[in-house]
């Protein structure tokens, strides 16, 4: 199976105006000042400082994040921007201490409108949308301009700009990471933000989307098939919108060294979709396929690989 997947590229083709769409989207975001604010958070941690962060994302809307940095530091730090999994938020100030413990400035971005599941969030999405299936995958899906992930991907690019504007950070040494939805967001950023040093993508969502909708049996893609089950004439419109948000297109435009992982038993983000993004990726790349794992992929072993890779690259 893995041998066949090594050559799998899917059938996705980017729209002719893909680059123009994203250029216009990011140019519109740049019209709003970043308005970066950091407020120190009092914690009982002895080796890590935590800051409550806000910056302006899509439409000038405020986006929240945590910035965690090693307390004992000498000069500007390399930085890692992390994007979290589907429906969760930035969580508690004491969560996610891996990257600052390893010596990085670590920015964990809220995903707007999410944070009602296993980790809380603090960033609303003030943009309305038309009819959608419960969840986030179909919000605004009848038009690329209104689709939910247009706002999220823009927020994420602005998060990289935000961390580069922090005095504690070396702006030339920034990488991005994420698992599941976070991996899909990180891959989009890799294709949109310049001069990243490294990318880690664990079981990424939003790759080879049409194939994923056909083959996944659990998780967010079922929202799209559920929506199309009642909006039977909308398939062309839906997949026309999603073509502007597919990780394969961003992979084709990304050049930073990247480490992918996937579980061959993944029913949420089928492993074929991770291979399709990996095979399209334009920069240096490695992929670890875990034969007997599902959506968790390699779990902590993936993080161990990422720490070693980022140590050499960022």
Interatomic CA distance for residues 110 and 281, integer angstroms = 26
Q: Which residues contribute to the annotated binding site for substrate?
A: 86
Going from the C-alpha of 4 to that of each of 86, 134, 224, the distances in angstroms are 29, 35, 27
* Segment 216-242, tens digit of pLDDT: 999 999 999 999 999 999 999 999 999
For the chain, the domain total comes to 1
Range of the domain at 215: 2-313
pLDDT of the residue at 93: 95
Interatomic CA distance for residues 17 and 240, integer angstroms = 12
Going from the C-alpha of 165 to that of each of 59, 161, 301, the distances in angstroms are 19, 6, 32
pLDDT of the residue at 120: 82
pLDDT of the residue at 3: 60
Torsion of the alpha carbons at 204, 209, 213 and 217, rounded to the nearest 10: -10
* Segment 91-147, tens digit of pLDDT: 999 999 999 999 999 999 999 999 876 678 889 899 877 777 779 999 999 999 999
CATH code at 220?
3.40.50.1820
User: What pLDDT band is residue 287 in, cutting at 50, 70 and 90?
Assistant: very high
pLDDT of the residue at 6: 86
Query: Which residues is 95 bridged to in the sheet?
Result: none
- pLDDT higher than 60, residue 1: no
266 among known catalytic residues: yes
Q: Which residues contribute to the annotated binding site?
A: 86
Rg (CA), the chain: 18
Q: Is pLDDT larger for residue 150 or for residue 11? A: 150
Torsion of the alpha carbons at 299, 304, 308 and 313, rounded to the nearest 10: 30
- Of 49, 266, 302, 313, the catalytic one is 266
Query: Which residues is 48 bridged to in the sheet?
Result: 70
- Of 61, 84, 200, 295, the catalytic one is 295
Interatomic CA distance for residues 259 and 201, integer angstroms = 6
pLDDT of the residue at 130: 72
225 among known catalytic residues: no
Interatomic CA distance for residues 132 and 223, integer angstroms = 9
- Of 180, 216, 271, 313, the catalytic one is 180
* Segment 2-34, tens digit of pLDDT: 668 888 998 899 999 999 999 999 999 999 999
Q: Report which of 259, 299, 302 is spatially closest to residue 278, judged by C-alpha positions.
A: 259
* Segment 189-217, tens digit of pLDDT: 999 999 999 999 999 999 999 999 999 99
Q: Is the pTM here over 0.75, yes or no?
A: yes
């Amino acid at each position: 199976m893995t041998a066949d997947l090594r050559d799998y590229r899917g059938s996705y083709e980017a729209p002719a105006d893909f680059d123009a769409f994203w250029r216009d989207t990011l140019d519109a975001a740049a019209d709003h000042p970043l308005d970066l604010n950091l407020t120190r958070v009092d914690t009982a941690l002895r080796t890590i400082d935590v800051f409550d962060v806000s910056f302006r994302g899509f439409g000038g809307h405020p986006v929240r994040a945590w910035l965690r940095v090693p307390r004992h530091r000498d000069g500007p730090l390399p930085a890692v921007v992390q994007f979290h999994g589907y429906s969760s938020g930035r969580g508690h100030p004491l969560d996610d201490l891996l990257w600052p413990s390893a010596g990085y400035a670590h920015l964990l971005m809220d995903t707007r409108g999410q944070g009602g599941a296993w980790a809380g969030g603090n960033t609303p999405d003030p943009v309305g949308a038309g009819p959608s299936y419960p969840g986030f995958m179909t919000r605004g899906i009848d038009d690329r301009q209104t689709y939910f992930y247009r706002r999220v991907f823009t927020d994420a690019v602005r998060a990289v700009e935000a961390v580069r504007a922090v005095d504690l950070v070396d702006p030339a040494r920034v990488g991005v990471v994420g698992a599941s939805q976070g991996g899909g967001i990180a891959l989009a950023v890799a294709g949109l933000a310049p001069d990243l040093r490294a990318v880690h993508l664990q079981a990424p969502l939003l790759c080879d989307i049409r194939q994923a909708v056909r083959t996944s049996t659990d998780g967010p893609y079922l929202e799209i098939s559920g929506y199309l089950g009642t909006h039977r004439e909308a398939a062309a419109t839906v997949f026309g919108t999603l073509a502007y948000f597919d990780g394969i297109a961003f992979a084709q435009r990304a050049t930073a060294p990247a480490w992918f992982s996937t579980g061959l038993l993944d029913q949420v983000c089928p492993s074929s979709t991770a291979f399709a993004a990996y095979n399209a990726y334009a920069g240096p790349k490695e992929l670890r396929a875990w034969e007997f794992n599902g959506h968790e992929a390699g779990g902590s072993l993936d993080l161990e690989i990422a720490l070693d890779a980022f140590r050499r690259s960022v």
